C-alpha cells in the first residue's frame, strides 16, 4: 500500500520539542513544522529558541532548565498535553572518567535521564487522561556500543532505551505509544569538540560503515516517521540510525 502525503500531514497536532534551540531538536522543529504541526519549542537557551522560532513562523517558546526539577514542573504544570512529545534534550561530557567531578556526573544524569523521565511522567499523566499521545525519546548509538571517555553519557542513554521499552509496555494499552531514536555521530553543536578537525572527522568516519557523518535532518525525519501513523505498530523500540556504527 502506498504511503500518501496525508499520512505525514500533522495538521492540528501539537508537538513539544525539548532541546529545540539547536542540533537535532532544531531540525525536528523545522521538519515537523514543514509537515503542518503546531510547534512548541523548549530549551535552556533563549537566543537559540528565538532563532528557531523565527524559522518556524513564530512558534511558541518555553525557556526551562532540564537540570532542575522545579523548572520542569513549572513548564509542564500549565501546559496542555501535546499530541506528540519529542523528548530530545540532552548534553554530552567527553573525557577521562576519573577526571569527572561529582557535579558533572550528577548534571549529566539529571539532564539526560532524570529530566526526560520527569517530563514523560508529568505530560504522560495528561496524555493518559485524554487517552492518546505519542512520545519519542532520544537515546544514542552508545546505548548499544560502549565508548571510552563517555561512560556516564552512554549509561544515561542506555537507561533511556530501557525506560522507553518499559513505559511503552505499561502505557500502550492505554493509548500512549512510546518509542525512541538512537542517533549516531551527527553534525551538531553537541559533537563539535569531537569533530572540530579533519583528523577527528576522518577517525570518526573510519568507524562508520556508511562512510559519512549524519546530518541533523536525517534524525528529524526518523522521528517524524515514528510519530506518524505510517509506523503506528512500532512500540517500545529504540531505532538506531548510525550508518552501521554499532555493527562493528
Residues annotated catalytic, as ranges: 153
Q: Decide if 81 contacts 121 (C-beta within 8 A).
A: no
Q: How far apart are CA 21 and CA 151, in angstroms?
A: 26
Q: Decide if 172 contacts 124 (C-beta within 8 A).
A: no
For the CA atoms of the chain, what is the radius of gyration? 17
Grid coordinates of 77: 504544570
Q: Decide if 70 contacts 50 (C-beta within 8 A).
A: no
DSSP, collapsed to helix, strand or coil, labels residue 43 as: strand
Residue in 41, 18, 220, 205 with CA at minimum distance from that of residue 116: 18
Amino acid at each position: 500500500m502506498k504511503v500518501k502525503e496525508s499520512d505525514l500531514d500533522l495538521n492540528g497536532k501539537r508537538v513539544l520539542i525539548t532541546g529545540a534551540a539547536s542540533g537535532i531538536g532544531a531540525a525536528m522543529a523545522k521538519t515537523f513544522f514543514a509537515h503542518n504541526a503546531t510547534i512548541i519549542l523548549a530549551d535552556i537557551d533563549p537566543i537559540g529558541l528565538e532563532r528557531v522560532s523565527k524559522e518556524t513562523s513564530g512558534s511558541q517558546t518555553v525557556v526551562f532548565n532540564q537540570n532542575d526539577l522545579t523548572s520542569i514542573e513549572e513548564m509542564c504544570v500549565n501546559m496542555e498535553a501535546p499530541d506528540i512529545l519529542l523528548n530530545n534534550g540532552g548534553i554530552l561530557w567527553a573525557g577521562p572518567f576519573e577526571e569527572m567531578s561529582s557535579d558533572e556526573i550528577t548534571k549529566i544524569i539529571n539532564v539526560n535521564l532524570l529530566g526526560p523521565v520527569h517530563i514523560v511522567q508529568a505530560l504522560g499523566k495528561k496524555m493518559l487522561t485524554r487517552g492518546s499521545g505519542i512520545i519519542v525519546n532520544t537515546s544514542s548509538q552508545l546505548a548499544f556500543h560502549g565508548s571510552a571517555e563517555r561512560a556516564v553519557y552512554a549509561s544515561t542513554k542506555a537507561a533511556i532505551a530501557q525506560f522507553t521499552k518499559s513505559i511503552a509496555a505499561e502505557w500502550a494499552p492505554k493509548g500512549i505509544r512510546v518509542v525512541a531514536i538512537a542517533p549516531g555521530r551527527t553534525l551538531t553543536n553537541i559533537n563539535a569538540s569531537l569533530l572540530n578537525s579533519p583528523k577527528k572527522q576522518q577517525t570518526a568516519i573510519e568507524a562508520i560503515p556508511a562512510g559519512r557523518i549524519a546530518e541533523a535532518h536525517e534524525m528529524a525525519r526518523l522521528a517524524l516517521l515514528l510519530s506518524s501513523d505510517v509506523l503506528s505498530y512500532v512500540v517500545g523500540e529504540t531505532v538506531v540510525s548510525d550508518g552501521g556504527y554499532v555493527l562493528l
